[in-house]
Amino acid sequence: MSHDQNFKNLILDYPRQALAFFAAAEADDLPESVRITPLRQEQLQERLGERFRELDTPLLVEWPDGRREALLFVVEEESDPRRFSIYRLVRYCADLAELCQTDRVVPIVVFLRGSPDRRSLTLGGDRHTYLSFSYIACELAELPYHAYRDSDNLVARLNLPNMRYAPDERVAVYADAVRGLTTLETDPERQLKYMDFIDIYAALDENERQRYSQEYPSEVATMTNFAERFREEGKQLGEATMLLRQLRSKFGEVPETTCKRVETADPDTLLTWSERILTADSIEEILH
């Protein structure tokens, strides 16, 4: 399982909520007007060494009025704290600062389980300190679930299963995470995508899943109906796409009005039209 990729997707899909949750001291009051963009991977490959690419997601925050210099947030996920190297993070932040020509860099490390003892690095001699470096450490397993169970920050709600709670609360944690997803995210594709995220980190066993079904029947029914509807819509869209491809192959350019008819047709109609395409001499003959 790629925890790095799971969290990278989360940060890229919800950058504002991710910064507000993982680095509240620096980012919980960012105005709506700021623009948050990830640095492109190709930019990093041109300037940074191969060893740095495993680090996760640099996000550039820019104020549209130009009164404040851009701020670079560097977010790294560590599922095993033994792999973390503060020296590597220092080099990465310094290279990014040079690449972006800024000294405004906020390093953030999200620890899934545990964290290293070392939180800062100081380099110097007997008389002076010449480099002092620290980072924001977000230890998910140390955050109390009860403090975030009603949060309106979607990233926080999705991470409820990664927080601290009693073993007998696991089903309630799962339910609060799912409820957060269904109420705070309206896009059906992302709902399905992050149901997988919740399932992975909640890791309910069969008994716990049965308890969830018994104790939260309305939520189960809502998600089941949604998933079935989304799968049916996806199947219909695939059939419509295939029919349009066949129409273009046989008749050339397809009018926009015809495309809309095909894309909104029900499955039975799409099947009828697909059967006619072999013998029909025109689009009108197929869709009559």
Q: What does the pLDDT look like over 51-108, one tens digit per residue?
A: 544 556 889 999 988 777 889 999 988 888 888 999 989 988 998 898 888 999 999 9
Q: For residue 209, what are its two tokens?
A: 């899943």
- What pLDDT digit, counting tens, does each position of 2-42 carry? 788 899 999 999 999 999 999 998 987 888 899 999 886 54
pTM, 2 dp: 0.75
Report whether pLDDT(256) > 70.
Answer: yes
Report whether pLDDT(229) > 70.
Answer: no
